Amino acid sequence: MVAVLVAVIIGVLIAFYFNYAQSKRDLSFLQQERELLVRDIALVKTDVDRLAALNEVNEIELQDSKYRVQQLMDSVGKLNFSLEKLKGYRTELVALQSRYDSLKLKNSFLRYNNMLMDNKYEQTKELVENLRGESSSLAEKEALLIQRNRELSQELKKKNHLKIINSEGSGFRFRSGKPIRTNKANTISRLRGCVTIIGNPNTKDEDRVIYYQFLGPNMSVIEDNANTISVNGNVYSKRVQLVFMGEQFNVCDAISMPEGSLEEGTYTLNVFEDEKLLASTEFQLK
């Protein structure tokens, strides 16, 4: 739009320029003709006066000549109107020139703003492309994670996990080297977990691993001799390895901690196999 406006203004200026040049030439020609007419009219008037003095023409022809002389004088007077109009055109031309200079300045300002906007557009476009690349990379990683989770879910579904019943957690203290079961938290130095694994006639001589996870009243994992076991980001208290013969049997194991390190409250025993929770039970310590 700015370009079209500038083109229109330039066209108008060119038209005014050629009009001004043509008017100037016409003015020069009219001035010359005016001088000739004034001189001729003066001569005619002199002749008319001379004829009037000599009575060489009658009164009607004399009046007719005077009328024609007056018409010529009026025609010459019209030249003054053309000159005034030309001055008006010149004033308008100056005003248009000032307006053109103002538009030219505004056009330069708009061009500068357009350049800034183009730079910002290119920067934004580059940023969008980078974000699209990062989004695509994140989408690929997310798709891989989803696929991996599906594979793990299928593996968990296919695997025949152990079936556990009668899970139990309890505390023990030692007196004269002998373990004594107790529920007094400040005397306990060992926590024991026991579970019953249900038999499976389709299974023979399989090495299995289960994990005990003892949780305190604040749901934090209780360590075994200041040690914990971490598997795939999951934290356990004890790793129990066994051989499953397909028959039902009991499994008990314990963790140790300093005497007096436990507080009263509700404790939890969770039993896992391959990150799958097989059993969970709670027990109270006073």
Residue 122 scores a pLDDT above 70? yes
Is the residue at 169 inside a domain?
yes
Residue 215 and residue 245 in contact, taking contact as beta carbons nearer than 8 Å: no
- pLDDT tens for 188-232 read 999 999 999 998 877 778 889 999 999 999 999 999 987 888 988
SS3 sequence of 233-249: CEEECEEEEEEECCCCE
113, 184: one domain: no
Boundary-marking domain end, from 113, 128, 143: 128
Boundary-marking domain end, from 81, 100, 128: 128
pLDDT value, residue 275: 86
Residue 66 scores a pLDDT above 70? no
Q: What is the full DSSP assignment across the chain?
A: -HHHHHHHHHHHHHHHHHHHHHHHHHHHHHHHHHHHHHHHHHHHHHHHHHHHHHT-S-HHHHHHHHHHHHHHHHHHHHHHHHHHHHHHHHHHHHHHHHHHHHHHHHHHHHHHHHHHHHHHHHHHHHHHHHHHHHHHHHHHHHHHHHHHHHHHHHHHHHS----EEEEEEEEEEEETTEEEEE--GGG--EEEEEEEEPP-TT--SEEEEEEEEEE-TTSPBPPBTTB-EEETTEEESEEEEEEE-SS-EEEEEEEE--TT---SEEEEEEEEETTEEEEEEEEEE-
| Domains held by the chain: number | 2
Structure tokens at 127: 């940023």
Is the residue at 151 inside a domain?
no
pLDDT value, residue 108: 81
122, 14: one domain: yes
Is the residue at 113 inside a domain?
yes
Residue 179 and residue 172 in contact, taking contact as beta carbons nearer than 8 Å: yes
117, 175: one domain: no
pTM beyond 0.85: the answer is no
- pLDDT tens for 234-268 read 999 999 999 888 889 899 999 999 998 999 999 99
Most confident of 38-52, 92-106, 254-268: 254-268
Among 156-160, 181-185, 255-259, the range scoring the smallest mean pLDDT is: 156-160
Most confident of 76-80, 138-142, 215-219: 215-219
pLDDT value, residue 221: 93
27, 122: one domain: yes
Among 61-75, 155-169, 244-258, the range scoring the smallest mean pLDDT is: 61-75
Is the residue at 138 inside a domain?
no
Mean pLDDT computed over 274-282: 91
Among 73-77, 91-95, 197-201, 202-206, the range scoring the smallest mean pLDDT is: 73-77
70, 19: one domain: yes
CATH number of the domain where residue 266 is located: 2.60.40.10
pLDDT value, residue 158: 57
96, 180: one domain: no
194, 88: one domain: no
Q: What contacts 125, CB < 8 A, 6 or more positions away? A: none
Is the residue at 146 inside a domain?
no
Average pLDDT, the chain: 78
11, 124: one domain: yes
pLDDT value, residue 81: 47
Is the residue at 215 inside a domain?
yes
10, 107: one domain: yes
Is the residue at 263 inside a domain?
yes
Is the residue at 150 inside a domain?
no
74, 190: one domain: no
Mean pLDDT computed over 65-73: 60
pLDDT range class, residue 23, cuts 50, 70, 90: low
43, 111: one domain: yes
97, 175: one domain: no
Boundary-marking domain end, from 103, 128, 153: 128
Full residue range of the structural domain in which residue 220 is found: 164-285
